[in-house]
Amino acid sequence: MAENKKYSYFVDRFDGEVNRSQPLSAYTTFGTGGDADLFIDVIDAESLALALKLAHELDIPRYVIGGGSNLLIGDRGFRGLIIRNSITGREVKGNAITLGGGESLDSVVDLATECSLTGLEFAAGIWGTVGGAVYGNAGAFGSQVGSILEWADLIDNKGNMRTEKRDYFQFAYRHSILKTTGEIVARVCFGLAAGDRREIERRTDEIRQLRCRKHPVNPCSAGCFFKNIEDASQPNGKLPAGKLLEEIGAKDIRVGGAAVFPEHANIIVNTGTASSKDIRELADRLKEKVKERFQIELQEEVICLGEF
């Protein structure tokens, strides 16, 4: 089936819910990126399953996004279908919170606080969605989402849904098996513990203040661009990539409108005029300098997608 017919068939099945040539810059925290051939914002698991199933059957390249907080989309966009997971829903039972994959992770921290549940404080101030956090095993301060996940409803490329418990995900540093299988998170359950609300509030406030000092206040970046380096001799078993970048003078390096954040050498920011190409080239230059100086190959934490 020719590309135009594939696209038309897909659009027709969703009765006006699909946009063609959709600009993607509004859907990433970098604020850059070209158009997607097709774009759909799904708000329930059934629509997500259908979109994935049709894309598979029609052989349309697809990618699912959440909050766009760990994503750099090329200036020439994405040839295929972008699905935005906007599935919401919250339920608290005892010490467990069940959530739609499109819920904001940071807002869930507030929900846990209101319910005097502890275990999610580390995620205070982290941009992005719950589904994205499970996909990339988001974490900070020695804790990670994988440690609190009880189970998740997943949808595969053929639109089949099933529930998997924590062990299935093979969580590691900034990694889950979803990066291999391509399955999408529709719903999750976090297992927390009863705690003292005042102490939980104190800790979340402390973490948010720390992030405000070291991270951009307004979304113009994707947080840390590179993964920290496994090193058992370091605190939490990681050598901070920012330390190496600081030593090679990263904060003085700029490409077009892309610069390194003055307070954190592992954060690249869009100063207002950056293209995705600027950001990509700056990241490549930083990697080269670290490799030359320390013989260490930095690995991106940010996902680069589409045509640059």
What are 128-158's pLDDT values in tens digits? 999 999 999 999 998 999 999 999 999 999 9
CA-nearest of 94, 127, 83, 82 to 108 is 127
Cα–chain-centroid distance for residue 145?
12
Strand partners, 152: 164, 188
Could you say which of 64, 85, 106 is where a domain stops?
Answer: 85
pLDDT of residue 218: 78
User: Is residue 134 located within the same domain as residue 70?
Assistant: no
Q: In what order do the strands lie in the sheet with 149-155?
A: 90-93, 96-100, 184-191, 149-155, 161-165
pLDDT of residue 1: 59
Could you say which of 147, 164, 199 is where a domain stops?
Answer: 199
User: Is residue 94 located within the same domain as residue 181?
Assistant: yes
Share of the chain above pLDDT 90, in %: 92
Q: Tell me the average pLDDT of the chain.
A: 96
Residue 208 domain-assigned (yes or no): no
Residue 255 domain-assigned (yes or no): yes
Residue 205 domain-assigned (yes or no): no
Exposure string for 198-222, b = 16+ CB within 10 A, e = fewer: eebeebbeebbeebeeebbeebbbb
Is the C-alpha dihedral spanning 256, 262, 265, 267 positive or negative? negative
Total domains, the chain: 3
Residue 151 domain-assigned (yes or no): yes
pLDDT band at 294 (very low <50, low <70, confident <90, very high): very high
pLDDT band at 219 (very low <50, low <70, confident <90, very high): confident
The model scores a pTM over 0.85 = yes
Residue 209 domain-assigned (yes or no): no
Half-sphere exposure of 42 (CA within 13 A, CB side): 25
Structure tokens at 184: 């999408």
pLDDT, average across residues 56-70: 96
User: Is residue 166 located within the same domain as residue 250?
Assistant: no
Gap between the Cα atoms of 5 and 69, Å rounded: 33
Q: In what order do the strands lie in the sheet with 18-23?
A: 18-23, 35-42, 78-85, 62-65
CB of 110 closer than 8 Å to CB of 205:
no
User: Is residue 12 located within the same domain as residue 104?
Assistant: no
pLDDT of residue 121: 98
User: Is residue 94 located within the same domain as residue 81?
Assistant: no
pLDDT of residue 3: 72
What secondary structure letter does DSSP report for 228?
P
Could you say which of 48, 69, 85 is where a domain stops?
Answer: 85
User: Is residue 161 located within the same domain as residue 239?
Assistant: no
pLDDT of residue 68: 95
Task: Tell me the CATH number at 285.
Answer: 3.90.78.10
Range of the domain at 153: 90-199
Task: Tell me the CATH number at 56.
Answer: 3.30.43.10
pLDDT, average across residues 172-177: 96
pLDDT of residue 4: 85
